[in-house]
Amino acid sequence: MTQPPKTPLLDKVPYPADLRKLEDRDLPQLAREVRDEMIDAVSKTGGHLGAGLGVVELTIAIHNVFNTPEDRLIFDVGHQCYPHKILTGRRDRIRTLRQEDGLSGFTRRAESEYDPFGAAHSSTSISAGLGMAVASDLDKTDRRVIAVIGDGAMSAGMAYEALNNAGALDARLIVILNDNDMSIAPPTGAMSAYLARLASGRTYMGFRDFGKKLTAYLGKNVDRAITRAVEHARGYVTGGTMFEEMGFYHIGPIDGHSFEHLLPVLRNVRDHANGPVLIHVVTQKGKGYAPAEAAADKYHGVNKFDVITGAQAKVKPNAPSYTSVFAETLVQEAELDDKIVGITAAMPNGTGLDKLASVFPSRCFDVGIAEQHAVTFAAGLAAEGFKPFAALYSTFLQRAYDQVVHDVAIQGLPVRFPIDRAGFVGADGPTHAGSFDTTFLATLPGFVVMAAADEAELKHMVRTAAAYDAGPISFRYPRGEGVGIEMPVRGEILQIGKGRVVKEGAKVALLSFGTRLADCLLAAEDLDAAGLSTTVADARFAKPLDHDLIRQLARHHEILITVEEGAVGGFGSQVMQFLAMDGLLDGLKIRSLVMPDVWMEQAKPEVMNAHAGLDRAGIVSTVFKALGRGLAVGVAG
Ligand SMILES: Cc1ncc(C[n+]2csc(CCOP(=O)(O)OP(=O)(O)O)c2C)c(N)n1
């Protein structure tokens, strides 16, 4: 006989306080409802699916056992927080995830008191949690701090810096290692192999054994010195795990989909632990949704999809994506030059380096989520005469800035930096926008900084970078597809520091750096039609600047506008500095169009460019304003 359907629980638990009123036996049903809700929401918005599905039980268990938001719950990366959002008063807005004016796809302090720490870049949770645990100690509160971090995020150095510090401080911090044996791609590295050994070598820890052990070792009444001695002895005798050696009480592995495992362990830790604890929880990415479980990437990030079949909406591209042009050109150049090697920091698919890996597996390195290491590793290869392409997203390169400065630039090493996702990225919002790379790279002596205006230019830049051995060189290109321009069979080697005039005019000069060129050309049509003869130039280089080109534009036009999809301090500022020092500013009307000096929220990139005034209309209106003309008058000529 089939069971009658149970009354939905989710409607009764808008907040964790309500969830804490449920019986333990109700929680599996709640988990099923949260999963269904999440699958339905993401099928409409697109977004991160697999990671959240894997932590449904864990999220419910944590909110059930701990007193959130007073107890602080921090999700590393934050891409697995959709179940958390559903359970923390945001269910009514869950179908606005990642949309303009909607919920963020990550945790955000500004969004909810249940998000005590914002994230999106990985491996920060243990550091932030430690800060909060120490604050709680200093404030003499009884607050617990829980950091949930994935096995992929555990490949970053920062996680170990934090563990190292937490062990030494003996802080009351709970780290939950959510081990689903996946990063975005399958995880790489010795640590991943170590976790797999831990997970397979031990059977799941029964809560009775564990409870006894924990109370014995960490019981509140046990003197800390004795506790430490016992722990130490235990480690010594059994060999201990790495986490134990670092001063953590290490529990696990436990089954992260079983409330029978999760609840007693978490309750025990809540009630008895007074030093750092690491709970190793084994979960399955994509759990509970067959298409996700079956997919190679466990549906890490998805477009809108059909819930029944799992089939994702496919947008028919008009042109190849910049990423694929980069990846194919790199393979083409690598076939001709065996010194070319590729490096990715856990993004083989996102950067397109999986293509290089499939052709030259021994010349492509996935170093894990370890951007700092990726850059210095590339520097080592360059020092030995190799031609490393360290392919990173603009936003993640930020993390490796000192390595770029100290290990690469100061030593003048020819590391090539393909910078993907430059400019607005859309749904991922301000944490992922590629805003600052031109600013922070063009300020470095000896760096060559390029931006591709279209996909053919990108092909030239890959070849130029491969051929350039005199020092570091970067080239930026955006997310998404190119403009559909005809592609050369092979890229050309560009002359370093030389831009190009794309369209000649006489009164207005638009000087573009990167893919805003297309909008500059459209704006030029409007301006020409309004009687303002317009020159459009593609700078190609923010460093070294094409001084002759800039001088010529400044001297022979009434107004010069620089346009770039980057923050203030980048290309436009370099141009302005040059013009000022060259004495060319007098009498020239110059305007610099950049991203606005605010953290812009998620929206479609074209909408963000329009808000920023970086699109066709924005460029035209800037010209009219600079000339003191109203838009309507201007358009009428
Ligand atoms: C510094 C940084 N580099 C790269 C990324 C891109 N990224 C997002 S999630 C992810 C994988 C994280 O794996 P894991 O921590 O195991 O979480 P899971 O998705 O498996 O739950 C990566 C590489 C990032 N967010 N931050």
Asked if residue 25 is part of any domain, the answer here is yes
3-state secondary structure of 564: strand
Same domain, 455 and 514: no
CA angle 566, 45, 345 (to 5 degrees): 50
Q: How far is the CA of 186 from the centre of ligand 1 (A)?
A: 11
Whether the per-residue pLDDT at 454 is higher than 50: the answer is yes
Whether the per-residue pLDDT at 25 is higher than 80: the answer is yes
Domain boundary among 476, 491, 513: 476
591 is catalytic: no
619, two tokens: 């460029």
CA 562 from centre of chain: 28
Same domain, 455 and 549: no
Alpha-carbon distance of 177 to 154, in angstroms, equals 8
Same domain, 194 and 68: yes
For residue 48, give the ligand 1 atom closest to its CA. Answer: 19
Give the dihedral of Cα atoms 306, 309, 312, 314; nearest 10 deg.
-100
Q: How far is the CA of 8 from the centre of ligand 1 (A)?
A: 33
Same domain, 461 and 523: no
For 188, the domain range is 10-294
Q: In the structure, what pLDDT confidence band is assigned to residue 209 with cuts at 50, 70 and 90?
A: low
Same domain, 248 and 331: no
Cβ contacts of 115-120, under 8 Å, gap ≥ 24? 115/81, 115/88, 116/69, 116/72, 116/73, 116/74, 117/72, 117/74, 118/78, 118/431, 119/74, 119/75, 119/76, 119/77, 119/78, 119/431, 120/77, 120/78, 120/79, 120/428, 120/429, 120/431, 120/432
Task: Note whether 433 and 405 are within 8 A (CB).
Answer: no
For residue 180, give the ligand 1 atom closest to its CA. Answer: 20
Which residue owns the Cα nearest ligand 1 atom 19? 51
Q: How far is the CA of 581 from the centre of ligand 1 (A)?
A: 44
Residue of 371, 455, 564, 565 marked catalytic: 371
Same domain, 63 and 185: yes
Residue of 399, 421, 459, 543 marked catalytic: 399
Residue 232 parent element (H or E): helix 224-238
| Residue-wise pLDDT tens digits, 283-305 | 999 999 999 999 988 899 999 99
For residue 156, give the ligand 1 atom closest to its CA. Answer: 1
Q: Name the burial class of residue 4, with classes exposed (0-12), middle (13-18) and buried (19+) by CB atoms within 10 angstroms of its CB.
A: exposed
Same domain, 471 and 575: no
Average pLDDT over residues 77-95: 98
Pick the closest to residue 267 from 15, 17, 64 (CA basis): 64
Asked if residue 186 is part of any domain, the answer here is yes
Pocket lined around ligand 1, Cβ cut-off 6 Å: 51, 54, 77, 79-80, 121-122, 150-153, 180, 182-184, 285, 300, 345-346, 369, 371, 396, 399
Same domain, 472 and 504: no
Same domain, 37 and 76: yes
Asked if residue 560 is part of any domain, the answer here is yes
Asked if residue 347 is part of any domain, the answer here is yes
Same domain, 261 and 341: no
Number of domains making up the chain: 3
Domain boundary among 429, 461, 476: 476
303, two tokens: 């477009």
Whether the per-residue pLDDT at 470 is higher than 60: the answer is yes
The CATH number of residue 577's host domain is 3.40.50.920
DSSP designation for 155: G
Same domain, 466 and 505: no
**Which pLDDT belongs to residue 634?**
42
Asked if residue 633 is part of any domain, the answer here is no
Pick the closest to residue 155 from 373, 446, 418, 381 (CA basis): 373
Domain boundary among 294, 312, 337: 294
The CATH number of residue 467's host domain is 3.40.50.970
**Which pLDDT belongs to residue 629?**
83
Same domain, 283 and 430: no
Asked if residue 492 is part of any domain, the answer here is no
- Which residue's entry shows tokens 């495992």? 261
143 is catalytic: no
Asked if residue 133 is part of any domain, the answer here is yes
Top-confidence residue, 90 or 273: 90
Whether the per-residue pLDDT at 636 is higher than 90: the answer is no
Asked if residue 336 is part of any domain, the answer here is yes
399 is catalytic: yes
- 67-81, 128-142, 154-168, 220-234: the lowest-pLDDT one: 220-234
